[in-house]
Amino acid sequence: VPDGNVDSIVDADSQPDTDPQASCWRHADAFAIAACATGLRDSIDITGNVRLDTDVGTSNSADVHCATIDNPTICAVAARTIRINLGAVLSAHGNRPLALLAHSIDILGTLDVASHIGSPHGPGALPGGCNGGTEATGAGGGAGGTYSADGGDGGEQGGGLNTAGRHGSSISSSILRGGCDGGRGGNGATLTGGAGGGGVWISVDTGTLTLGPNATINASGAGGVGGPFGTCGGSGGGSG
C-alpha cells in the first residue's frame, strides 16, 4: 500500500466549472447507476501516491476527495478532466465504492481498489449478499471467495476427508459493489478469509477514456492467510 510520503502529489485547479448545467453520468449494463454533479473543478492531476477513504470522503491530499453529487451510495472523484500520471497511484478503501467521473480521464499510472492483507478492505467490498459456502473443518483450507464466478474449494487436511471448505454459489448484483470474502480456515484459527476486492466505476460523458500502456487497475481480493502448522487450515482468498 503506498505511503504517500511524496512532494506535490496532486496538481488541481480549485476553481469550479462555470457551466451552470449539471454533468451527469449513467451506466446500465450489468449494474445500474447514475450520478450528477454541478460546479465541476477544471482538473485533477495526480502525480504521487494518494490514499482515499470513501467513508470519510477525504484523502492524504486536500485536493482529492469525494465530490458533492446526488448519489450518496458512492464516493465520486469528479472534475472536467482526471489524470493519474505514470508512476502515480490512486488507492481507495472504505464501505462505499469508488467512482471516477469526468468529461475525459487518462490513467497512465495505477488505480488500486484492491483489498490487501493487513489493510482496510477495498471500496465497497462488503460480505453482505455473498453466498459463503461450507466452512472448513479440522485443518482443512478455506474456500476462495465466490462472486460472479465460483471460487476454488479449499484443500483437505492431510489424511482427512471432508475437511475442506467448499465455495458458495455465484451471485449477480444490480448495484455497484466489491467482491466477496474467502472462507476461514479449519478450526477457526483464521477467523475470516481474505477480503473481496473493491468496486470502481469509471465514466466519461463527452470526452475520452485513455488507458496508457503501463496503466494498472487493481480490483483483486486479498489473499488468505496460513493457519498454525499442523493444527489449523489456512483461509481462502477473496474474489475480485
Looking at the chain, the whole-number percentage of residues with pLDDT higher than 90 is: 55
Cell numbers standing for residue 193: 478469509
One-letter amino acid identity for 213?
Answer: P
The answer, yes or no, to whether residue 110 has pLDDT greater than 70, is: yes
Residues 61-96 pLDDT 10s: 999 999 999 999 999 999 999 999 999 999 999 999
Exposure string of 18-46, with b = 16+ CB inside 10 Å and e = fewer, is eeeeebebeeeeeeebebebbebbebbbb
pLDDT at 7: 36
Exposure string of 111-137, with b = 16+ CB inside 10 Å and e = fewer, is bbbbbbeeebbbbbbbbeebebbbbbb
Which of the two residues, 21 and 240, has the higher pLDDT score?
A: 240
pTM of the model: 0.86
pLDDT at 2: 35
Residues in the chain: 240
pLDDT at 17: 46
Q: Which of 1-10, 18-27, 89-98, 134-143 has the lowest mean pLDDT?
A: 1-10
Cell numbers standing for residue 191: 477467523
pLDDT at 38: 85
**Mean pLDDT of the 137-162 span:** 86
Which of the two residues, 225 and 188, has the higher pLDDT score?
A: 225
**Mean pLDDT of the 113-127 span:** 93
pLDDT at 230: 65
Name the burial class of residue 159, with classes exposed (0-12), middle (13-18) and buried (19+) by CB atoms within 10 angstroms of its CB. exposed
Least Cα distance to 141 among 112, 176, 184 occurs for: 184
**Mean pLDDT of the 12-16 span:** 46
**Are 194 and 145 in contact, with CB atoms under 8 Å apart?**
yes
How far is it, in rounded angstroms, from Cα 53 to Cα 96? Answer: 9
* Eight-state DSSP code of residue 91: E
How far is it, in rounded angstroms, from Cα 41 to Cα 62? Answer: 14
pLDDT at 87: 97
Residues 183-207 pLDDT 10s: 888 887 666 899 999 999 999 999 9
Computed over every residue of the chain, the mean pLDDT equals 87
**Mean pLDDT of the 158-185 span:** 86
Looking at the chain, the whole-number percentage of residues with pLDDT higher than 70 is: 89
